[in-house]
Amino acid sequence: MSDCIFCKIAHGDIPSKKIYEDEEIFAFHDINPIAPVHFMIVPKLHVGSLMDVDMSHQMLLGRILAKANDLAKSQGLNEGFRTIINTGRIGHQEVYHLHVHILGGPEPLVIVLVIVMLVFGTKKLRNMGSDLGGAVKGFKDGMKEASSDKPAEKSVEPQQVTGQTIDVEARREQTKS
Ligand code: 5GP
Ligand code: ZN
């Protein structure tokens, strides 16, 4: 199809980071990856979506899925991967040339946590954790107070020991003189 992006990629009219190609299918990295590894397996034949598929396509679809494991492993996905096929408007399909997304790699949250640990160190991270715990407790106390009829018991704050000590010392000095 002349105005189809993936047909143009298949013909080499639009550049792509191809990772595999044979006579019927090809695979290339998604231009906007949503995972550390994100590529698509695509038939060379223009098929709009799963809504255009019938039994005449079973060999082609089987070929795409049968190749997924091999390609995923070639991209370092040795512990599994997600496969997504978006279909039609309701399926949020953006490009109307059938394709299977393969996604995997370390979870972004784990990567962020590792970077934070490298930048701040584990001590700072523990302090951040306890600060957050205090904030959550304060929020919970506030919610309890707001929802009960009688005023909630105020949470006992740690006393200012240093201030008291100074007061006692000052009184001692006064009684001496
Ligand atoms: P869909 O929502 O149709 O399942 O996903 C289409 C995917 O194609 C999107 O993730 C989008 O980032 C990707 N895409 C769109 N245009 C291009 C392109 O020109 N090159 C590459 N490599 N990917 C594209
Ligand atoms: Zn196409």
pLDDT digits (tens, 9 = 90+) for 90-142: 999 999 999 999 999 987 677 777 777 888 876 766 776 677 777 767 777 87
Same domain (yes/no): 18, 80: yes
Is the pTM of the predicted complex or chain greater than 0.75?
A: no
> Strand locations in 11-76, DSSP E?
18-21, 25-29, 37-43
Measure the CA dihedral 67/72/74/77, to 10°: -160
Same domain (yes/no): 16, 98: yes
Q: How far is CA 32 from the centre of its chain?
A: 14
Six-digit token string for 2: 């002349």
From the list 70, 89, 88, 72, the residue with the least C-alpha distance to 80 is 72
- What is residue 161's predicted lDDT score, i.e. its pLDDT? 45
* Residue 128 Cβ < 6 Å to ligand 1: no
Q: Which domain holds residue 49?
A: 5-105
Instruction: Name the residue of 29, 32, 101 to mutate for ligand 1: max ligand atoms within 8 A of Cβ.
Output: 32
Task: Give every strand in the sheet of 82-84, ordered side by side.
Answer: 18-21, 25-29, 37-43, 100-104, 82-84
Q: Which residue has the tokens 């919610």?
A: 143
From the list 62, 19, 29, 1, the residue with the least C-alpha distance to 11 is 1
- CATH code for the domain of 84: 3.30.428.10
Same domain (yes/no): 76, 112: no
Closest C-alpha to ligand 1, atom 17: 31
Structural domains in the chain (count): 2
- What is residue 5's predicted lDDT score, i.e. its pLDDT? 98
* Residue 30 Cβ < 6 Å to ligand 1: yes
Radius of gyration of the chain (CA): 31
Same domain (yes/no): 11, 78: yes
- What is residue 125's predicted lDDT score, i.e. its pLDDT? 63
- What is residue 115's predicted lDDT score, i.e. its pLDDT? 74
Segments of the chain scoring below 70 in pLDDT = 108, 122, 124-125, 128-129, 136, 147-177
Same domain (yes/no): 113, 101: no
Using DSSP's 3-state secondary structure scheme, residue 155 falls into coil
Report the atom number in ligand 1 closest to the C-alpha of 86.
4
Q: 8: which residues sit within 8 A by CB, 6+ positions away?
A: 14
- Tell how far the Cα of 32 is from the centroid of ligand 2, in angstroms: 19
Same domain (yes/no): 30, 98: yes
Same domain (yes/no): 27, 83: yes
Same domain (yes/no): 58, 82: yes
22 is a domain residue: yes
Same domain (yes/no): 55, 69: yes
164 is a domain residue: no
